[in-house]
């Protein structure tokens, strides 16, 4: 297949995938339409009802994403500072969070690696939305065979970039021919497509992933409908109702004497019925009890909690007695395990990104590239005392060197570990220098900073 034909074919696949991805994005943003309400009723309401959105989809996604923090990369037995330098130079602390949110909500996101025109030693890594990028995989190896990015400028002119194992080609839409016209190419010769899918919950026959919102959307729709009904009920039934008997529709007019609609009479909180002449009567009904709405919403919230593995306090449930730290950790067990599963899948993608960075920067992979690992922050929430106690036991009972445990300190970054190691080396060098001087030995400084 010609390159331009492949670019157009993948672009068409992307256009077909976008509507469903946009639907998932609307649910994450809390912009979904009101469901479970008859269209005729919506028409009768004349725009008076605005949906009350309970945005549980965002809660489900953000609760997982908040526990997915990359803290470094390990190559073989050591933490590799060069990869962490690339990570920081590309602002991936923030961009990785955005990629994880996109993948959790819309099944997948992408990272694209290329040469950096401003610094040839630091590859350029960008994070991309599935609304603009799509990849085609080899059905046997499941590796990416080709990919495209499609976007438009403010003048609605379409641009397409085709990524292949050895070349990247840029196209621009032609208004005259209706086809893509090549505007440039980069013969990079990497041997790999520089596009990495970051897939959420990929399956054997669903390699493009599954959204965390898939099971939550129907329940969220029901909750928004019940909450909206509750607001309507509060508007018309939460205060006492007045009944006027012995009146006709002509008795209800606006300030200019014009007849008002039935809905406006209802909105005025007056129910009227006709009666025999001279028998006009006004009565008042008690306000309605809205607890049935509250109970239904609580039931739906429990369903979401069970599906998404979220602890009760995420939904605002609380007992009279505050939960202990052990109780909170126990309630978060499923959420922590789900976060660890996402770390494993997303970690594979970030490791492939770093391998591509080596190919761009050095033209080859390091010998131990297959042993690369992503270092993640602990997705659990241990207290400082509990973490310190656990590390002390590891050191004493298993005789693990203290320095080897620094990376496991909750919240510590690779940069902090590097500074700690540098400080420890400086202390050892100073002690060795003092001891050598005490014995009358000359100390020679070496280029690597070790005495």
Positions of E strands within 129-279: 133-137, 144-152, 158-163, 168-173, 180-186, 195-199, 241-245, 270-273
Rounded Cα distance, 172 and 156, in Å? 11
**What single-letter DSSP state applies at residue 302?**
H
**What distance in Å separates the CA atoms of residue 86 and residue 139, rounded to the nearest whole number?**
31
Instruction: Render pLDDT for 399-438 as a digit per residue (tens, 0 to 9).
Output: 677 766 666 676 666 667 777 777 877 877 777 777 777 7
Residue 398 DSSP class: S
What is the pLDDT averaged over residues 95-105? Answer: 97
**H-state helical runs in 238-378:** 262-267, 291-308, 325-331, 333-362
* Sequence-distant (≥ 6) Cβ neighbours of residue 418 within 8 angstroms: 81
Instruction: Report yes or no: 130 and 107 within 8 Å, Cβ to Cβ.
Output: yes
What is the C-alpha separation between 99 and 61, in angstroms, rounded?
12
CB count in 10 Å sphere of residue 58: 17
At 106, the pLDDT band (50, 70, 90 cuts) reads very high
Residue 125 has pLDDT above 90, yes or no: yes
Compare 82 and 275 and report the one with higher pLDDT: 82
Question: Tokens 């129907």 — which residue?
Answer: 218
Would you state the pLDDT for residue 280?
60
**Residue 335 domain-assigned (yes or no):** no
Distance, C-alpha 323 to centroid of its chain:
28
Of 245, 230, 242, 370, which Cα lies nearest the Cα of 295? Answer: 230
**Residue 225 maps to a domain:** no
Crossing angle (nearest 10°) for helices 333-362 and 92-106: 120
pLDDT at 443 over 70: no
Query: Read out DSSP for 54-89?
Result: --HHHHHHHHHHTT--EEEEEETTEE-HHHHHHHHH
The answer on pLDDT for 15 being more than 90 is: yes
Expressed in angstroms, the distance from the first to the final Cα of the chain is 63
HSE-up of residue 215 (Cα within 13 Å, Cβ side):
13
pLDDT at 450: 44
Per-chain mean pLDDT for the chain: 83
Q: Residue 267: inside a domain, yes or no?
A: yes
pLDDT score recorded for residue 428: 77
Nearest to 412 by CA among 423, 420, 424: 420
pLDDT range class, residue 263, cuts 50, 70, 90: very low
Confidence of residue 5 (pLDDT cuts 50, 70, 90): very high
Q: How far is 444 from 451, CA to CA, in rounded Å?
A: 6
Q: Is residue 140 a part of any domain in this protein?
A: no
Q: How many domains is the chain partitioned into structurally?
A: 1
Percent of the chain at pLDDT exceeding 70: 75
The answer to whether residue 25 sits within a structural domain is no
- Is 427 inside a domain boundary? no
Task: Of 343, 372, 339, 337, give the one whose Cα is nearest residue 355.
Answer: 372
CA distance 160 to 5: 12
Residues spanned by the domain of 250: 240-286
Residue partners of 229: CB distance under 8 A and separation at least 6: 293
Q: What is the mean pLDDT of residues 287-298?
A: 82
Q: What is the arithmetic mean of pLDDT over 131-151?
A: 94
pLDDT in tens, 221-258: 999 999 988 887 776 665 566 666 666 666 666 667 67
- The 78-79 sheet, strands edge to edge: 78-79, 70-75, 372-376
Over residues 348-361, the pLDDT tens digits come to 999 999 999 999 99
Phi and psi angles of residue 398, each rounded to the nearest 5 degrees, phi first: -105, 0
Position 414 scores a pLDDT of 66
The per-residue pLDDT for 14 is 97
> How much is the average pLDDT of 187-215?
94
| Residue 20, C-beta contacts closer than 8 angstroms, at least 6 positions apart | none
279 in a domain, yes or no? yes
- Write out the two tokens for 111: 């990272």
295 within some domain: no
Largest pairwise CA distance in the chain: 123
pLDDT band at 393 (very low <50, low <70, confident <90, very high): low
């Amino acid at each position: 297949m010609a390159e331009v034909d492949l670019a157009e074919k993948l672009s068409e696949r992307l256009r077909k995938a976008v509507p469903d991805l946009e639907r998932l994005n609307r649910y994450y943003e809390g912009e979904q339409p009101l469901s479970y309400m008859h269209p005729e009723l919506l028409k009768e309401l004349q725009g008076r009802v605005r949906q009350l959105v309970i945005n549980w989809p965002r809660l489900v996604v953000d609760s997982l994403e908040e526990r997915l923090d990359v803290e470094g990369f390990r190559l073989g037995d050591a933490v590799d500072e060069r990869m962490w330098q690339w990570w920081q130079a590309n602002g991936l602390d923030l961009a990785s969070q955005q990629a994880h949110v996109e993948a959790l909500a819309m099944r997948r996101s992408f990272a694209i690696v290329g040469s950096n025109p401003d610094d040839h030693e630091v590859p350029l890594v960008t994070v991309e939305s599935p609304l603009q990028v799509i990849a085609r995989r080899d059905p046997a190896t499941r590796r990416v065979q080709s990919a495209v990015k499609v976007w438009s400028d403010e003048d609605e002119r379409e641009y397409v970039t085709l990524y292949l194992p050895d070349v990247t080609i840029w196209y621009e839409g032609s208004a005259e021919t209706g086809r893509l016209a090549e505007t440039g190419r980069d013969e990079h010769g990497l041997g790999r497509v520089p596009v990495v899918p970051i897939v959420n919950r990929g399956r054997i026959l669903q390699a493009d992933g599954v959204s965390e919102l898939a099971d939550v959307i129907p329940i969220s729709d029901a909750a928004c409908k019940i909450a909206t009904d509750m607001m309507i009920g509060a508007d018309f039934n939460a205060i006492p109702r007045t009944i006027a008997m012995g009146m006709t529709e002509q008795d209800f007019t606006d300030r200019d004497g014009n007849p008002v609609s039935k809905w406006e009479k209802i909105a005025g909180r007056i129910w009227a019925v006709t009666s025999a002449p001279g028998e006009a009567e006004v009565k008042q009904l008690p306000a309605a009890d809205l607890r049935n709405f509250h109970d239904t919403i609580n039931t739906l919230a429990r369903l979401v909690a069970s599906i998404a593995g979220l602890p009760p306090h995420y939904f605002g449930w609380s007992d009279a007695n505050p939960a202990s730290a052990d109780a909170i950790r126990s309630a978060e067990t499923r959420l922590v395990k789900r976060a660890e599963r996402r770390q494993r899948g997303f970690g594979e993608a970030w490791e492939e990104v770093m391998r591509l960075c080596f190919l761009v920067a050095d033209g080859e992979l390091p010998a131990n590239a297959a042993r690369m690992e992503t270092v993640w922050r602990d997705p659990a929430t241990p207290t400082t005392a509990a973490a310190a106690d656990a590390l002390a036991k590891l050191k004493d009972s298993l005789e693990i060197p203290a320095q080897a445990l620094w990376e496991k300190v909750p919240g510590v970054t690779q940069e902090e570990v590097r500074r700690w190691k540098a400080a420890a080396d400086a202390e050892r060098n100073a002690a060795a220098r003092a001891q050598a001087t005490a014995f009358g030995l000359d100390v020679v400084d070496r280029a690597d900073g070790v005495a």
